[in-house]
Amino acid sequence: MHTTKLNIDSILPLTCSRSGTCCFGKNVMLNPWELFNLSSEKKITTRAFRDLYCEFGGIRLRFDGKPDKKGQQACSQYVDTIGCSVHLGRPLACRLYPLGRKVQFDKAHYIYEGDTFPCLTDCPEVLELPKLSVGDYLKGQEAALFEKAQDEYLIVMQNIADIGFELLLESGLSASGDTKTLATWRVMGNELPELLAERIGQEWLDYLMLPAIIDTQHPITFAQNHNELLLLKAQEKFGAIQTNQELHEASVLMIGLALHLARALGADPKSIAEHWIATAKNHGAQE
């Protein structure tokens, strides 16, 4: 879909009329820090929140509430007459809406989908409300920490993928003439999220979305501690493996996990998988 690009000073009808119409039929992805925040706000464990309200191992909020007039189901956190039941812990996608955020070459920019400002479709009354700059809107939404979480988890994603690269390129697997590992990376890039989650398995989905971190509210420390836990787990699990079949499976698992996290961060797993395959080929891997 065509997108309209904005800069931080763009002035738009960004005062929300709070009708809640955008809490229906959306695709709200979650990184692990967002899942942690939502469950803290709901005052239940992260595991309970994940199991009750999320899909694909915790990377997407479930939209299974009462449908609106268009038949689009409400977010699992939406309560009739009240609105969002987790307002203070709501994820970045909800803080940004109707804007989206793209990171390219380490620089973030803001967009909205289509040529018409999205709120005008369901809440035309916004035209009567004060207009705001993108920068002021983001401040009002307290989006900064959530953007930091998003950016830090992109680094975690790359670090997990690096383990998958090492298991292929530095273990002798690639040098042995292996071709099936890259072929499986490609399959995973195209795989439906429910199938990729199944392939990854519950144990590693839990490591990805339910890290044993309870003592920090700051997203950068949280993501860095999580990164450390994931690397330790990989060392523990893969430190002693020897056969090419074991190396193949471990490499596939780490790339699958990184692609699942990519989807949680709103990135396109297919293009990321293609990019990683091309990089691995440049370093001698074959398909």
- Per CB under 6 A, does 72 bind ligand SF4? no
Which residue in 72, 68, 58, 77 sits closest to 204, CA to CA?
Answer: 58
Q: How far is CA 222 from CA 31, 75, 261, 266, in A?
A: 11, 26, 15, 19
Residues 6, 22, 229, 267: which binds ligand SF4 (CB under 6 A)? 22
Applying CB under 6 A, does 126 fall inside the site for ligand SF4? yes
Q: Cα(206)–Cα(263) distance, rounded to whole angstroms?
A: 16
Q: Closer to ligand SF4 at the Cβ: 46 or 77?
A: 77
Smallest distance, ligand SF4 to C-beta of residue 86, A: 6
Which residue is listed with tokens 């994940």?
50
Residue 27 CB-density burial (10 A; 0-12 exposed, 13-18 middle, 19+ buried): exposed
Kindly indicate which of the ranges 50-58, 119-127, 218-226, 234-242 contains the residues binding ligand SF4, using the contact rule CB under 6 A. Answer: 119-127
Residue 87 Cβ vs ligand SF4, minimum distance, rounded to whole Å: 7
3-state secondary structure 88-103: HHCCHHHHHCCCEEEE
Question: Is residue 16 close enough to count as binding ligand SF4 by CB under 6 A?
Answer: yes
Q: Name the residue among 112, 245, 121 with its Cα closest to residue 173.
A: 245
Residue 99 interacting with ligand SF4 (CB under 6 A): no
Name the one range near ligand SF4 by CB under 6 A: 50-58, 89-97, 131-139, 265-273: 89-97
Using CB under 6 A, list all residues that contact ligand SF4.
16-23, 26, 28, 75, 77-78, 84, 86, 90, 94, 97-98, 119, 122-123, 126
